[in-house]
Structure 1
Amino acid sequence: MVTHVEKLGMRRYSGMFKNALETVCNIRPENITSKMACLKRALGRSEAVLAVCKLPSILLMSERRLSHKLEFLRMEFGLEPSYTAHGLAILAYDLEKRVMPRHYVIEVLEVKDLVKKDIDLYIVFAYTEKKFVGKYIDRYSERVLGLADAYAAACAGKIPEIQP
């Protein structure tokens, strides 16, 4: 198992080595290989190794779910592989209940010129629900009528059209 972890690019004395070892012990070797191939296709070899070294538990995600999230982040948000590899927490968040609704709110606020266009999505997704609502929903609800309702609908899986 130690050899498998080292083959993933993890250094034996890394702080994440123990986590990687625990992860590898819970996955069949052929699944590790296929998930690494998926990561390499989406991120590139060096970024895939970086991703696994930073967050070994990424290998516990199903290959279908992993590839879906990576593709969505690249196609819908235009996130570069290096950004995704460095901000891996994004992959841990629920796409439909957290990532997409928050992205919707940010898009609405960008269209209305209430937030800057190059806002760091990693930070937006990482906020607790309370902090996100306070910073983006409550703060702008008077200037963008229906924002709270639109966010609630988006969280329920019904992403509304962005109104200019």
Structure 2
Amino acid sequence: MQSLKLRPLLFYPPFSSNSFQSFLLSFSTAFLSTPKNQYSKETTFIFDFLNSNFKLPKSQSIYISKRLSGTTFPQNPLSVINFFKQIGFSQTQIQTIIRQRVQLLFSDVDKTLRPKVDLFQQLGFQGSDLCGFISRYPTILTASLNKTLVPSVEAIKKIVRNEKDLIQVLCKCGWILPKYPLFVSNIAFLESCGIVGDQVLILLKRHSRLLSFSQSAIRNYVLQAVELGFHQNSRMLIHGLQTISGLSKKTFKRKLDIIQSFGFSNDETLQMFKKSPALLRASDKKLKVGIEFFLHTVMLPKPALANRPMILMYSIEDRVFPRYRVFQLLKSQNLCKVSSFVYVLCLSEDMFLNKYISKFKENTEALLIAYKGHHIAGGTM
């Protein structure tokens, strides 16, 4: 049989599951009957097709070339794509998975893929949630089921309390599953530092990236936290680690410098960080606007702000400014004795509405306008 004549890619339509299957079927007969010394031309052809439709880099194309054989092509790619379609994966999701893990095209569906999908279905993933989860973390389909995925899931099950939390954690940090036993040993180390129970759950939900670091790096972050005044076995340690590990030393110092530029001493600044570690993860603008407002508008003494730095984390537009307008109106009309704006600011939404708006029936409308006026006007005060 004569070798296939290569044609420009523009003759082939963009990827769709049907066009890809038709291509594989039509190509297989010619490919399997082509002499081995002519494989290079035909594999170039399939490379170009896959690169055009899946946007595969050259390294993945080379991988495909080494795997092409009569026993794997086109049977495996066809069965893999059909399997994904049957589960409910969209065309875009299939493209995403193959681009990131092209070796999956040569997987055995029944022995390799289906058991892993079954695992996550048994955990509670169904329909579009299942497809979204796997397409977001396709690496889990290349990890060993019994040596990696099952032990990882069991380790996380020991931390989370119910199926809802388990699904939430996996959706947040599914990438961590193939990293067993690294993240398990890191959890054990952090537990030895006093980060236990629900604190580990907080870590998984909010800062699982820390668990992917080497243990020497985590140990170094713990030492830095201790040097800054956090204590092992303290419930604040995990929050300090989240900030320290998430910021470069340059950025960390810049945040401290911003606070000190308003006249806070080094000790006061570190006190603020220890009381509210998330403070340094706020944007430079948020820090500056917040400190400026509390010191120069509310006239809050520096020691008072240093003692309650968490109020700098509240939304300026949606909480701080609106409540301050209500606070000012109540004081100006002598409707009640409100001595501390910080107290007003820290109340829950329901408590604030009941105590400082709904309670004053004759002035409710004026107070609501003061409180919600920024939404009505489409701006701030």
Closer/same/farther in 2, CA of residues 33 and 3 from structure 1, 3 Å limit: farther
SS at 1:69's partner residue?
helix
Higher relative contact order (Cα pairs below 8 Å, separated by 6+ residues): 1
2:317 paired residue number: 96
SS at 2:369's partner residue?
helix
1:35 paired residue number: 255
SS at 1:116's partner residue?
coil
* Cα distance, 1:6 vs structure 2: 3.7
Q: Which of the numbers 287, 294, 309 marks the counterpart of 1:66?
A: 287
Query: Which is greater in Rg?
Result: 2
Equivalent residue letter for 2:361: S
Q: Is the 8 A contact 1:141 1:148 kept in 2?
A: no
Equivalent residue letter for 1:55: S
Deviation string for 1:28-85 (max 9, x for gaps)?
Answer: 1100011111122223222111101111111111122212211111111001111112
Inter-partner Cα distance in structure 1 for 2:313 and 2:257:
19
Q: Is 1:107 paired with 2:328?
A: yes
Paired residues in the alignment total 158
Deviation string for 1:107-141 (max 9, x for gaps)?
Answer: 11101112226x22222111111111110111123
Inter-partner Cα distance in structure 2 for 1:45 and 1:64:
20
Inter-partner Cα distance in structure 1 for 2:301 and 2:287:
16
Closer/same/farther in 2, CA of residues 9 and 107 from structure 1, 3 Å limit: same
Inter-partner Cα distance in structure 2 for 1:51 and 1:38:
13
- Aligned pairs (5 A) from 1:14-163: 14-42=234-262, 43-116=264-337, 119-143=339-363, 146-156=366-376, 157-159=379-381
Q: Is the 8 A contact 2:259 2:269 kept in 1?
A: yes
Q: Is the 8 A contact 1:50 1:85 kept in 2?
A: yes
Q: Is the 8 A contact 2:358 2:364 kept in 1?
A: no
Instruction: Point out the structure with the larger helix share.
Output: 2
Inter-partner Cα distance in structure 1 for 2:361 and 2:374:
15
Q: Is the 8 A contact 2:321 2:380 kept in 1?
A: no
TM-score using structure 2 length: 0.39
SS at 2:336's partner residue?
coil
Segments of 5+ residues of structure 1 without an aligned counterpart are 160-164
Q: CA RMSD in A?
A: 2.0
Inter-partner Cα distance in structure 1 for 2:369 and 2:258:
37
Q: Is the 8 A contact 1:96 1:155 kept in 2?
A: no
TM-score using structure 1 length: 0.85
Segments of 5+ residues of structure 2 without an aligned counterpart are 1-220
Inter-partner Cα distance in structure 2 for 1:38 and 1:10:
21
141-150 or 89-98, which deviates more: 141-150
1:162 paired residue number: none
